[in-house]
A = this chain, B = another copy of it.
Amino acid sequence: MNKTLNSLPRRQMLAGSASALAAAGLATFTRGAAAAGETPVASATPKPLPAYVAWKDPASVIVHSSTTIETKRAAFGSGVITPAEQLYIRNNLPAPDASIVADRDAWQVAIEGVKAPRMLTLRELKTMGVETTAMVLQCSGNGRGYFPSKPSGTPWQVGAAGCVMWTGVPVRVVAEALGGVVPGAGYLTGTGGEKLPEGLDPLSIIVERSVPAAAMADALLAWEMNGVPISLAHGGPLRLIVPGYTGVNNIKYIKRLAFTAKETEAKIMSHGYRISPPGGKGEPSQPSVQEMTVKSWINSPAPDAAGVRAGLVQVQGVAFGGLNGIKRVEVSLDGGKTWNDARLTGPDLGRYAWRQFVLPARLPAGSHTLASRATDTAGNVQPEQRMENAGGYNNTSWADHAVKVTVA
C-alpha cells in the first residue's frame, strides 16, 4: 500500500494518485484518476459527451466529467426502466479498450474460493443458467449535491441512479457448478478488468470490492442490460450485479470472482466508500457503503419545470427500498407539514426495482415545496435528515430531495 497516499484526505489522496500517474508517464489515465476523485466541475457550459458514450442522449444528461455523467431529473420518465441512453455513468477508472467487447463470448473470469476453481468464458457462463433481475443501480454518492458541507466528489442530485434490467447467470449457480463455496468464505469479492498503470501498487488503484457472501443469493454475472449486450460504458462484456448494493459494488468488466475469508485490501474497499465523520477520512473501521436504504424523490413536476399551470397536477416520482420492496409512498405539498398517500403505478418489477408513484393534486398559483417519503416493506421510513458524513454518501433525506415548483 502507498502509505503516503493513505495518510491524505480523500480529495488530496486521489489528486495525488493522478499526479503519480502523470509522473509515471500515464497521462491518458490522468483524467480518469481525477474523475475517481469526483472533483466537482463547474457546469456553466454543457460539456459534450465523451466518445465512449456518444450514443447517450445529450438532452437527458449532465456531463460532469468524462467518467461522471448524470441523468437530468426532468428526463426521468414513467416507464420504470431507465433507457441506456439516459442512464448515468460513474467509472472509477477509464473504461478498458473497446476491443474487449469485440468478441464478448471469449471474455474470461476466474472463479475462486470454490471447491473446483477455474477460469470460465462468457460462452460457458451462458450455458450454465440464466435469470433476469430489475434493480436500482445507484451511485453511493447520489444526492451528494445536497450536502451543505460540499464533500469532495461529483455533486450528484438525483440522477446518479436508474432502474435497469440485467440478465446473466446467478452467482450461486456458478458456485454450485464448481463444487460449492469453500468453508469460511464470508465475502464475495469481485475484481474489475480495467487496465492498471504500471509503477503503482495495484491495491492503491484497482477496482476490487467485497460484499457479504450472502449477497450471492441474488447476484448475477450479467451479460445483458435492458435486453441488449452490456455496453462497454456500463461494464460489458460481463458485470457483477449485486442487487440492493450501491453502484461501486457492481464490478464492471469482471475478471475475477472470489469467495474470500476477508474483505479485499484494495484501497477502494479499505479506505474508499466509508462512512467517515464530517471532516474525517475513510478508515477500515468505519461502515462501508454497501446496501442501499429506503429513498424516494419527485421527478415531475421538476424544480425547473416551466409552464406548470394552476389546477390539477400529477405529482410523480420513484421510490425504492434497497434490499426491500416499497410498501408506501407519501407526498407532501407543503414542504413536509402534511402528507398524502400516493398511489404506486405501473408494474412491480420486484423488490430491487423502483416503483413509480403518483399523487393527483390541485395546486393553486404560487410557489410550492413538494416532497416524498417512502416506507419499505420492512417498515423502514425514509428519514427527514441526511446522515452527515465526509464522503457525502447515502443521502436519503426527504427534505434534501424536496422540489420547489412555481405554478402560474
Q: Point out residues on A near B: beta carbons under 8 Å.
A: 57, 76-84, 86, 105, 123, 126-134, 165, 167, 224-229, 307, 309, 311-314, 316, 345-350, 353, 356, 358, 360
Nearest Cβ distance between residue A333 and chain B, in whole angstroms? 15
A128 touches B82 (CB 8 A): no
Pick the residue among B77, B165, B347, B348 that contacts A224 (CB under 8 A): B77
Q: Which of B77, B123, B165, B360 contacts A346 (CB 8 A)?
A: B165
**B226 A165 Cβ-Cβ under 8 A:** no
What is the CA–CA distance of A309 and B353 in the complex, to the nearest angstrom?
35
Q: Is the CB of B129 within 8 A of A346?
A: no
Alpha-carbon separation in the docked complex, A356 to B348 (Å): 16
Given A82-B227, A126-B314: 20 more A-B contacts, CB < 8 Å: A77-B226, A77-B229, A78-B224, A79-B132, A79-B167, A81-B226, A81-B227, A83-B83, A83-B84, A83-B226, A127-B309, A127-B311, A127-B313, A127-B314, A130-B314, A130-B345, A133-B347, A167-B346, A347-B348, A347-B350
Q: How far is the CB of A126 from chain B (nearest CB, A)?
A: 7
Residues of B within 8 A of A227 (CB): 76-83, 86
Residues of B within 8 A of A349 (CB): 347, 349
Contacts of A224 in B (CB 8 A): 77-79
In the assembled complex, the Cα of A147 lies from the Cα of B167 at a distance in Å of 33
Number of copies: 2
Beta-carbon nearest neighbor of A229 in chain B: B77
The distance from the CB of A370 to the nearest CB of chain B, in whole angstroms, is 15
Q: A79-B167, A227-B80 are in contact. Are A353 and B358 (CB under 8 A)?
A: no
B84 touches A132 (CB 8 A): no
Question: Are B78 and A356 touching (Cβ within 8 A)?
Answer: no
User: Provided the pairs A346-B132, A349-B347, A353-B347 are in contact, do residues A165 and B79 lie with their beta carbons within 8 angstroms?
Assistant: yes
Measured between C-beta atoms, what is the minimum distance from A343 to chain B in Å?
9
Q: Which residues of B contact A353 (CB under 8 A)?
A: 347
Among A57, A126, A228, A345, the most chain B Cβ lie within 10 Å of the Cβ of A228
* A123, A132, A225, A307 — most chain B CB neighbours (10 Å): A132
List B contacts of A225 (CB < 8 A). Answer: 79
Contact B316 A77 (CB under 8 A): no
* CB-defined contacts of A84 to chain B, threshold 8 Å: 83
Which B residues touch A347, using CB under 8 A?
Answer: 132-134, 165, 347-350, 353
* 7 CB < 8 A contacts A-B: A80-B132, A80-B227, A83-B226, A130-B358, A133-B346, A134-B346, A349-B349
Q: With the chains together, A216 CA to B312 CA distance in Å? A: 23
Residues in B neighbouring A226, C-beta threshold 8 A: 77, 79, 81, 83
Which chain B residues border A128 with CB–CB below 8 Å?
312, 314
B316 touches A130 (CB 8 A): yes
Contact B81 A165 (CB under 8 A): yes
Q: Which residues of B contact A130 (CB under 8 A)?
A: 78, 314, 316, 345, 358
**Most B C-beta atoms less than 10 A away, residue of A80, A84, A358:** A80
Contacts of A134 in B (CB 8 A): 346-347
Q: Which of chain B's residues have a CB closer than 8 A to the CB of A228? A: 57, 77, 79, 83, 86
A165–B80 contact, CB under 8 A? yes
Q: In the complex, what residues of B have CB within 8 A of residue A123's CB?
A: 307, 309
